[in-house]
Structure 1
Amino acid sequence: MLVSEEELLRSGFSSAELQAVKNNVESYGGTLEQAIHDLARRFSRMIWIAAIFLAIFIILVLFSSGIKIIAGGISLVLGIGFMLLAQPPVLCYKSWRYWRAVQS
């Protein structure tokens, strides 16, 4: 499959976001298709990790004391915050949405 800039712009990427992806490809190598696929996979992983964090928090609420619920909630929020800082969530979401549309 060949990913083109025009398709990405039509699917919701802004020109600045597309330029950021292209700069990354130029700096670190690879193709535009690989970069979009990697960003889409990052979004999927981020959703799975957030779901696991939510399950852990639900278990804390059901089986733990008040102070542990508060401490666990704060640590899970910080974990999700660090996860969002480590990757561009908007680019990942748009890549995931584009990749899903192209695959179907």
Structure 2
Amino acid sequence: MVHERLRLHLAALQRADLLLDVVEFVKAKKQAGATLEKRGTRVCLVSPHCRSKAAGLPDDMYFVEPPEPPEARVIHGYREALISSAISTATNTTSSRPLAVRTS
């Protein structure tokens, strides 16, 4: 999830100053704010140091990624990307039998 990924990233960078803020935020069970981007198909959780130029963390640390859709689905207005649903629909509706070819 986003907070786990963020904590691991901060620990790897040895940024104890930022890590402490994130751990306190999670420990207090505060609810992260959320912003929808790309027509509602991408969720950014607004947690400590999100988009802070001083912190210098990549925005990707705060985005709910495709393996985590349940985390995004609780955000009002979120919708999954059309391409993933189109691929899913195509995959589920294709037949394993080859098409019959008329020769006459």
TM over 0.5: no
Between 1 and 2, higher relative CO (CA 8 Å, sep ≥ 6) is seen in 1
- Answer 1 or 2: which has greater strand percent: 2
- Answer 1 or 2: which has greater helix percent: 1
Q: TM-score, normalised by structure 1?
A: 0.30
